[in-house]
Amino acid sequence: MIKIKTEERKMKTQRIEELMEGMKSFSKGDYHKSELLSEMFALQQEIVELTFSGEHAATAELKIWDVEKHLEQLNEECGHVADEELQSFMESSKTLCNLIKAEISGNRGEYKAFKTLEYLQSQNRVMRNVELSNGETRTEIDALVITPKCLTIVEVKNTSKNILIDEDGNYYRTGEFLKWDCNIAEKMAVKEELLRKVLEAAGYGHIRIRSVVVFTNNRIEVQNKFTQIRTCFVNHLAYVIDGFRLEDSITMNEMVDVQRVVENAMCQEAYPFEFDARQYQADFAKLLATLEFAKAKVEAEAQEERVSEYEQHHERVSHQAHNKVKKVTFADVMRTIFTSKQVRYAGSTAAAVAITVVSGIIAANTVSKGGF
């Protein structure tokens, strides 16, 4: 029995390594923001395909929550052998799903804002996703609009919750309770400070900078008590920028040059993803391997029970001492296990552990019954 358990642990480790090798997403250490969504989608698809392994004809439609449901059911069938691993995986999955949703929501919101900026009446140059850094602090400007009057920093918010910005610039999502998100005043001040340094270094320190926080969902309610920041809904964005009461101070040539200066200052450095994708992959591999092997054991034990019932049945109906009935062989047991749906999808390693388990069971029966 000790030998069986040692062999099982070895095969389980091999199965975990096999699963890890099958996941190629997030293979780099650092990423640009533009790369993250495609990598997260790739990770989700890998998790889905490894979980179902061809069990579903179209895994492209399945998501992480389908994986959670499947593994939760499998864990229950196996006697809750992986409760802690499952809970940890589900918590990490929630974080990953929220990151995917936030990225999608942000992209949709920015798209709406960029489309609205096409209606600007002023001469303009629009820059998207401007990343700036001074070595210690890094920030991203969703949109930077250059007009003859000023530079406008546009911060895009795509939310379904009502919003409160208090007198100190704290940004809350409202509902039954206030949920603090950030200090939007400090956040916008950092954007303006880094942009100002870029302009000053190029001799454009005199150019005025304005900031607008734009909300893409006009069905929500926004209360802004911080007067230094302008807020508006997306359908008013072009009107707000055109309506700044400032004298023209930037020529067309200067607008072109300012855009070039900002482009040259944009941060090209990649950064680590805030989510530990590699640990998430490892947790998933351990969980799936644990459940696959547990399921193989359940199948093996059920098969052994059927073998025992078969023998008992023939003992009851046969009263002749020398009447030889056909015994179920090791090959018969293995054939039944290997045709089971679970082992077909569990992989070669999980199938191997079934052989080990049944070998132990049959050996135990042979000793107790004096032969098989």
Q: Is the C-alpha dihedral spanning 341, 343, 344, 347 positive or negative? A: positive
| Residues contacting residue 63 through CB under 8 Å, at least 6 positions apart | 44, 48
Nearest to 357 by CA among 289, 296, 285: 296
Residues whose CB falls within 8 Å of the CB of residue 356, separated by 6 or more in sequence, listed in order: 4, 7, 8, 11
Tell me the β-bridge partners of 144. 127, 153
Instruction: Judge whether 116 and 212 are in contact, CB under 8 Å.
Output: no
3-state secondary structure of 168: coil
Residues in the chain with pLDDT < 70? 1-5, 54-60, 302, 304-372
Residue type for position 15: R
Contacting residues for 269 by C-beta, under 8 A, at least 6 apart: 30, 133
CA atoms of 284 and 282, how far apart (whole Å): 5
> What is the per-residue pLDDT across 286-315, written as a single tens digit (0 to 9) for each?
999 999 988 888 777 767 666 666 566 556
Which pLDDT score, from 0 to 100, does residue 34 have?
84
Q: Going by DSSP bridges, is the β-strand pair 151-157/209-215 parallel, antiparallel, or unpaired?
A: parallel
Distances (CA, A) of 279 to 23, 66, 68, 275, 285: 12, 20, 17, 9, 10
Return d(Cα 300, Cα 306) in angstroms, integer: 10
> Cβ distance 156 to 184 under 8 Å?
no
Tell me the backbone φ, ψ of residue 325, rounded to 5 degrees: -105, 155
Per-residue model confidence (pLDDT) at position 84? 93
Say if residues 248 and 141 touch (Cβ distance below 8 Å).
no
Q: Are 235 and 255 in contact (CB under 8 A)?
A: no
Count of helix runs (H) and strand runs (E) in the chain: 11, 9
Closest CA to 80 of 361, 287, 282: 287
Strand partners for 233: 215
Q: How many CB atoms lie within 10 A of CB 275?
A: 17
Strands (E), 295-352: none
Backbone angles phi, psi at 186, to 5 degrees: -65, -40
> Rounded to whole angstroms, how far apart are CA atoms 264 and 368?
81
Look up residue 141 and give its DSSP letter. Answer: E
Q: Which residues contact 277 (CB under 8 A, 6 or more apart)?
A: 25, 26, 39, 43
CB atoms within 10 A of CB 215: 23
